[in-house]
């Protein structure tokens, strides 16, 4: 069985401030982890993925995430928020033969 918990359904940051979106997962097999972004009335777009190897993963638009097995976490960060980062972000997990499980999403608001 697998699950994803995203802490905070809404997060607000000031423009230029650090973005931190939290994701914790549960998986009985080595996980594959993903972050997606969704803009209003659009589909999801892959930001980054962790499969194996390097635990710090860099993605598009300046985002990165670190896989921490001991903490079962895969938090998404960006050093400096931009207005265009305002969107909803989804963490997802898969592994073995299980279908991907998505978190419930975190809406990021960027305040000018």
Partner 1 sequence: DGGITQSPKYLFRKEGQNVTLSCEQNLNHDAMYWYRQDPGQGLRLIYYSQIVNDFQKGDIAEGYSVSREKKESFPLTVTSAQKNPTAFYLCASSPDSNNQPQHFGDGTRLSIL
Binding site for partner 1 (CB under 8 A): 9, 32, 34, 36, 41-46, 49, 51, 90, 94-95, 97, 99-100, 102-105
Which residue in the block uniquely carries the two structure tokens 């594959």? Answer: 32
Nearer to partner 1, 18 or 46 (CB): 46
Buried b (16+ CB within 10 A) or exposed e, 21-44: bbbbbebeeebbbbbbbeeeeeeb
Cβ at position 110, least distance to partner 1 in Å: 20
Which helix (H) or strand (E) is 36 found in, with range? strand 32-38
Nearer to partner 1, 97 or 112 (CB): 97
Cβ at position 35, least distance to partner 1 in Å: 10
Nearer to partner 1, 62 or 95 (CB): 95
Rg (Cα) of the chain, in Å, rounded? Answer: 13
């Amino acid at each position: 069985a697998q699950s994803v918990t995203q802490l905070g359904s809404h997060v607000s940051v000031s423009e230029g401030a650090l973005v931190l979106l939290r994701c914790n997962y549960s998986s009985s097999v080595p996980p594959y982890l993903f972050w997606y972004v969704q803009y209003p009335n659009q589909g999801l777009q892959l930001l980054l993925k962790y499969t194996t190897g390097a635990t710090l993963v860099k993605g598009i638009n300046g985002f990165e995430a670190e896989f921490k097995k001991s903490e079962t976490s895969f938090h998404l960060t960006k050093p400096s928020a931009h207005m265009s980062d305002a969107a909803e972000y989804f963490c997802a997990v898969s592994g073995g033969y299980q279908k991907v499980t998505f978190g419930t999403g975190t809406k990021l608001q960027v305040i000018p």
